[in-house]
Amino acid sequence: MFEVIPFCGLSPYQMMMLFIIWSFLGWAMEVCVHTLKMGEYSDRGFLSMPLCPIYGFGANIITVVLRPVLGDPLVLFITSAVICTAFEFAVGVMLKKIFHNQWWDYSDEPFNFHGYICLKVTIEWGVVCLIGESFVIPAILGLVDMIPRIAGMIFICISAVLILIDTGCSYAAAQRLTLHIREFAELNSKMYDTAEKLGSSLGNAALETSAAIQENAGIAQVRADNLTEDIHSAAHDVKRLMRMRYDAYMAFRGDRRELRLLKAFPGMHPDTGKDIIKELRDMSVGNWVNSVIENIRVKLRADSVGELIGHGEDDD
């Protein structure tokens, strides 16, 4: 445990301590950068604990793999930037594969690749690794050597247990968030389809009843009754879907881990698109209905008016 592994240059004990400490420093850096950029605090990272494991893994990988070039700043900068970018890409693809969500998106940055990586962040990785390997990591390892081994092992054991529990809880929360995203996307699609049906029925009701009145009052009444049934059925479907959506909203709003993940990854978007994430962000602050109602209102007006306009053109 305390013996240095020759090809690594570190002992398992040092690697575990480096993982925990650098994960915390990475989390702190992410929080500071995001706060300065967005003007508000956000608990960054996949875990609820103040740790970003991607930084801990990265520090160990870079320290072990690049041991032969630690004395050459230029080579260290280039190789560490490439390795960290490849690692970030692999993690991003893996998360997308598991949760069907892209957790960060650099699509707005120049020289990006599918939003997973970009040149700007690659350069930032190189700078962070260069500073870290030159100054920070040696200081961390020096501090680790000063800590009594028993205290260090207790710290590692407690941290490992907490990280495993947190990982399990965060994974479950991410799965729930994925299900909620899918559920809201399906409900919205059904609501818009129903609104389209309702709008079309309203337009047809006005047109057919008007035409039938000119022909025969009895026929007009029959057509009006049939269209009224269609309208009542569509309205009932809208009401039922709104109730289902409200129940889903209450389940989502009550899950603090889901809300934290949504806030921690502002660039997240699912396969269904970015609109649903914007809607969930509105929901996270209590606005669960306005955007959908507005879209349905527009849909109803467009369909109803469209029917009338189309009929008018036909008459011409």
SS3 assignment, position 112: strand
* Each residue's pLDDT tens digit, 148-165: 999 999 999 999 999 999
Q: Compute the mean pLDDT over every residue in the chain, rounded to the nearest whole number.
A: 82
Q: What is the pLDDT of residue 310?
A: 47
pTM of the model: 0.79
Do strands 101-102 and 112-113 pair parallel, antiparallel, or not at all (unpaired)? unpaired
The encoded tokens of residue 207 equal: 């047109």
**Residue length, the chain?**
316
For residue 190, what pLDDT band results from cuts at 50, 70 and 90?
A: confident
pLDDT per position as a tens digit, 28-67: 999 998 888 878 787 889 999 999 999 999 999 999 999 8
Q: Which amino acid is at 103?
A: W
H or E segment and range at residue 270: strand 269-270
How many Å is the Cα radius of gyration of the chain?
28
Q: For 137-148, how does the pLDDT look when each residue is reduced to its tens digit (9 = 90+)?
A: 999 999 999 999
Better-scored residue on pLDDT, 209 or 233: 233
Pick from 48-52, 207-211, 309-313 the range whose average pLDDT is largest. 48-52
Query: CA torsion sign, 99 to 103 to 106 to 107?
Result: positive
Residue with the bigger pLDDT between 270 and 150: it is 150
| Least reliable range by pLDDT among 89-98, 116-125, 211-220 | 211-220
Whether the Cβ atoms of residue 79 and residue 193 lie closer than 8 Å to each other:
no
Are 80 and 65 in contact by the 8 Å Cβ rule? The answer is no
pLDDT of the residue at 180: 87
Distance CA 54, CA 37 (A): 21
pLDDT tens-place string over residues 271-310: 766 677 877 887 777 665 555 555 655 555 555 444 444 4
Mean pLDDT of 169-192: 87
More confident residue, 42 or 16: 16
* 3-state secondary structure (DSSP) of residue 116: coil
Cβ proximity of 185 and 272 under 8 Å: yes
Report percent pLDDT > 70 for the chain.
78
Nearest Cα neighbor of 24 from 52, 58, 46, 54 is: 52
Of the CA atoms within 13 Å of residue 25, those in its CB half-sphere come to 19
CA distance 115 to 211: 55
Q: What are the domain boundaries of the chain?
A: 12-147, 178-315
Query: Model confidence at 315, in pLDDT bands (50, 70, 90)?
Result: very low
Tell me the CA end-to-end span of the chain in Å, nearest whole number.
Answer: 88
Q: Is residue 311 predicted with pLDDT exceeding 50?
A: no
Q: What is the largest distance, in Å, between two alpha-carbon atoms of the chain?
A: 98
- Residue 204 pLDDT > 50: yes
Dihedral sign of CA atoms 164, 139, 68, 62 in order: positive
* Alpha-helical segments (H) within the chain: 12-38, 53-65, 73-99, 119-131, 137-146, 149-215, 217-253, 256-264, 274-284, 290-315
